[in-house]
Amino acid sequence: MFKYVFGPVPSRRLGRSLGVNVVPLKYCNFNCIYCQLGRTKYLVNDQSMFYEPEEIIREMEIAVKSRDYDYLTFIGDGEPTLYAGLGKLIRWARENQGKPLAILTNGAKLADETVRNWLSELDVVKVSTDTCNERVFRMVNRPHRSITFEGFINGLEEFREEFSGQIWSEVMLVHGVNDTEECAEKVGEVLSRYRPDRVYLMVPTRPPAEPWVKPPTSETLIKFANTISKYINKDRIFIIDSIERGEFYIDKNDPLNSILNILKVQPMTIEQIMDIIKRNKLEPGIVDELRKFVKEVVFNGIKYLVYSGND
């Protein structure tokens, strides 16, 4: 039974992404208002050895041989760079499998030289830049008190100087909070400081930590993209405003756990769950089993199953 490795799952940016979840719910150095994992329970910025690296490597060893994927992606039920064993896992993955390696991080730990060294062995580092100054940073990302906006961006700049792989930046826009024209100009300026290879303009598509969070309109998104294109080549800007479609890998010997491991990192619509049941010819009763570990949340008129951390 796998605990850390899940998928591959369809990813809008990484194709079939084989996920390695290295942080328990929900340890993070941010507490973003839009987080799909709910509010941060443990707002920390020190690293911990949450799990024995060997336990995770054992699962990776089996999965990389038996599953077909495009990227091996490090992720967390929070912020993956808070895991003290991450460097060891990255080294193992580099030496023992041939597919590209990625991480989905907020990027705040790139202020730390050790983390920069670990992540320099990856092919893609996805970071976040939702805001343009200390005030909006504290309003949207609500970081740990030891993290300042300038320290955060300086870490990204230092990493850019040292890293030859791809830096992809995610800008999550929230209606009425960071989607203004003024914000777009300033976010463009901040992005130009560390020159990401790609910028993804995103909107909340899954239930957010704060129920009042709403996505901006399509017009606002396009306007925002036009404004930041003064600072970043427009061919590098992508808009993502819908959830991913595609096939999720499910271990037929352990379907409940396979689905739960995915739900731990991303809420899913009832439609996605029903599609998994159909494709894998699973018993429909599995939905009742899942309900013991999830809650149902309606966002933007769509019903989602959200992991509640009870397994």
**Interface residues toward ligand SF4, by CB under 6 A:** 28, 30-32, 35, 37, 40, 78-79, 106
Q: Output the smallest distance, CB 142 to ligand SF4, in A.
A: 8
Minimum CB distance to ligand SF4 smaller for 5 or for 37: 37
Q: Output the smallest distance, CB 273 to ligand SF4, in A.
A: 22
3-state secondary structure (DSSP) of residue 55 = helix
- The single-letter code of the amino acid at 114 is T
Minimum CB distance to ligand SF4 smaller for 77 or for 251: 77
Fill in the DSSP letter of residue 83.
B
Residues 6+ apart with CB under 8 A from 121: 90, 91, 94, 101
Q: Output the smallest distance, CB 32 to ligand SF4, in A.
A: 3
Q: Output the smallest distance, CB 286 to ligand SF4, in A.
A: 27
Minimum CB distance to ligand SF4 smaller for 64 or for 147: 147
Q: Output the smallest distance, CB 118 to ligand SF4, in A.
A: 18
Minimum CB distance to ligand SF4 smaller for 213 or for 282: 213
Minimum CB distance to ligand SF4 smaller for 137 or for 248: 137
d(CA 108, CA 211): 25
- Assess contact for 8 and 70: CB atoms under 8 A: yes
- Exposed, middle or buried: residue 135 (CB in 10 Å: 0-12, 13-18, 19+)? exposed
d(CA 114, CA 110): 8
What token pair was written down for 21?
A: 């979840």
